[in-house]
């Protein structure tokens, strides 16, 4: 793990966010083929790619940790409703505390320490200078509700899905860096309801098959998938709630600045069954990489050109790329000699 010892970088205003050469190298590039179509792209979440890979640990903590935690606190200060947990999700929130604390302490012992004496737990997060003793299961002993407490110490967004009647319901989450969707709007919805706006996938039966797969996931057998879109500037919080701040930035892309302004936004999503509540924990870990940094890898540049060139129109539209998609294809074409 390489946590940045450097100053905190920003995902808004002056956008000081950068990726180090190591971060570029470990970026979870999402295109296994020259064309991209929606599919049920899930695999067991087991270590892959060796030491330092984004797939090495259950939760990936990297050089952007401090910057992302700062960004999360800024969002929650303005919009506390970006974190919500319905009452019946209380046990699932404690499941999340246990799963995340235990795995962080095992995977990154130099930064996180957990001591459990029966229900009396002491948690230390050396990166954020946090040390708290609490009674597991008793929210009154934590400085804030359990999901928020944990979510403020984890990179990426988290949702907790209640499973009932063979379906999943979005009944809790801490969502401060979504790719244009709103927790407040989707709260309480079922799997096919919150996926309602996605084009093509419904008629191809993708969500039906995915839901079957998800509802059968067992404790201790997490699965992962990648999702992707694009964002202008290194902006983490592209929520409908803040659309007025970022929507217009799509018009700022020009052939001259496309490489530096347009970011590939990749979500490493992990689904994990919670043991006490039977809920699913869904983590959405977002990685941002400018096209300029992507093309530093010739294979990625070539592959991405082909993917972008053949992307179906409904996906271009749904992902919000319409205004600048042509410039992205033109920019990438210079790195694909066959075209």
Q: Active-site positions?
A: 225
Which is closer to ligand HEM, CB of 114 or CB of 266? 266
Which is closer to ligand HEM, CB of 109 or CB of 275? 275
Which is closer to ligand HEM, CB of 125 or CB of 229? 229
Residue 286 and residue 272: Cα distance in Å, rounded?
17
φ and ψ at residue 170, rounded to 5 degrees: -80, 85
Residue 72 and residue 174: Cα distance in Å, rounded?
9
CB atoms within 10 A of CB 50: 9
Query: Terminus-to-terminus CA distance in the chain, angstroms?
Result: 38
At its nearest, how many Å lie between ligand HEM and the CB of residue 189? Answer: 9
- Please report, to the nearest 10 degrees, the dihedral formed by the alpha carbons of residues 269, 270, 271, 277 taken in order: -120
Q: Exposure of 49 by Cβ count < 10 A (0-12 exposed, 13-18 middle, 19+ buried)?
A: exposed
At its nearest, how many Å lie between ligand HEM and the CB of residue 180? Answer: 6
Residues 79 and 175: beta-carbon distance below 8 Å = no
What the block records as the tokens of 187 is 């709260």
Which is closer to ligand HEM, CB of 92 or CB of 206? 206
Residue 278 and residue 82: Cα distance in Å, rounded?
24
φ and ψ at residue 255, rounded to 5 degrees: -60, -25
At its nearest, how many Å lie between ligand HEM and the CB of residue 117? Answer: 35
Residues 262 and 249: beta-carbon distance below 8 Å = no
124 DSSP β-pair partners: 113, 131
Residue 25 and residue 232: Cα distance in Å, rounded?
22
At its nearest, how many Å lie between ligand HEM and the CB of residue 328? Answer: 15
Q: Which residues lie below 8 Å from residue 169, measured CB to CB, with a gap of 6+?
A: 161, 162, 163, 188, 189, 190
At its nearest, how many Å lie between ligand HEM and the CB of residue 22? Answer: 27
Residues that bind ligand HEM (CB under 6 A): 38, 40, 159, 161, 168, 170, 181, 186, 194-195, 197-198, 201, 206, 210, 214, 225, 227, 229, 280, 282, 318-319
At its nearest, how many Å lie between ligand HEM and the CB of residue 161? Answer: 5
At its nearest, how many Å lie between ligand HEM and the CB of residue 229? Answer: 4
What the block records as the tokens of 232 is 């202008």
Sole residue written with tokens 């790195």: 335
Sole residue written with tokens 């209640």: 162
User: How far is CA 145 from its chain centroid?
Assistant: 21
What the block records as the tokens of 296 is 């530093």
Residue 176 and residue 75: Cα distance in Å, rounded?
6
């Amino acid at each position: 793990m390489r946590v940045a010892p450097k100053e905190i970088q920003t995902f808004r205003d002056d956008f000081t966010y950068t990726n180090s050469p190591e971060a570029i190298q470990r970026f979870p590039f999402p295109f296994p083929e020259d064309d991209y179509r929606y599919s049920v792209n899930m695999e067991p979440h087991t270590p892959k790619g060796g030491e330092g890979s984004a797939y090495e640990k259950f939760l990936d903590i990297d050089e952007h940790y401090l910057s992302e935690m700062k960004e999360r606190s800024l969002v929650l200060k303005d919009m506390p409703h970006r974190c919500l947990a319905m009452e019946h999700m209380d046990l699932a929130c404690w499941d999340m505390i246990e799963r995340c604390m235990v795995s962080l302490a095992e995977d990154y012992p130099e930064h996180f320490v957990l001591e459990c004496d029966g229900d009396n737990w002491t948690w230390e997060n050396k990166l954020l200078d946090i040390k708290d003793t609490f009674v597991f299961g008793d929210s009154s002993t934590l400085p804030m509700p359990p999901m928020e407490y944990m979510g403020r110490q984890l990179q990426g967004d988290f949702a907790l899905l209640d499973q009932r009647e063979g379906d999943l319901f979005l009944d809790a989450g801490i969502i401060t860096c979504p790719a244009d969707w709103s927790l407040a709007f989707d709260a309480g919805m079922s799997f096919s309801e919150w996926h309602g706006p996605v084009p093509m996938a419904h008629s191809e039966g993708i969500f039906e098959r995915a839901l079957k797969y998800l509802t059968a996931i067992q404790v201790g057998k997490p699965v992962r998938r990648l999702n992707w879109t694009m964002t202008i500037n290194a902006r983490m919080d592209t929520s409908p709630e803040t659309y007025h701040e970022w929507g217009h930035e799509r018009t700022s892309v020009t052939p001259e600045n496309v490489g530096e302004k347009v970011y590939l936004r990749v979500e490493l999503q992990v689904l994990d069954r919670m043991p006490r509540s039977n809920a699913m924990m869904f983590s959405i870990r977002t990685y941002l990489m400018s096209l300029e940094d992507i093309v530093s890898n010739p294979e990625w540049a070539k592959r991405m050109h082909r993917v972008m060139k053949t992307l179906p129109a409904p996906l271009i539209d749904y992902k919000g790329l319409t205004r600048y998609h042509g410039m992205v294809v033109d920019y990438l074409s210079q790195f694909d000699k066959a075209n």
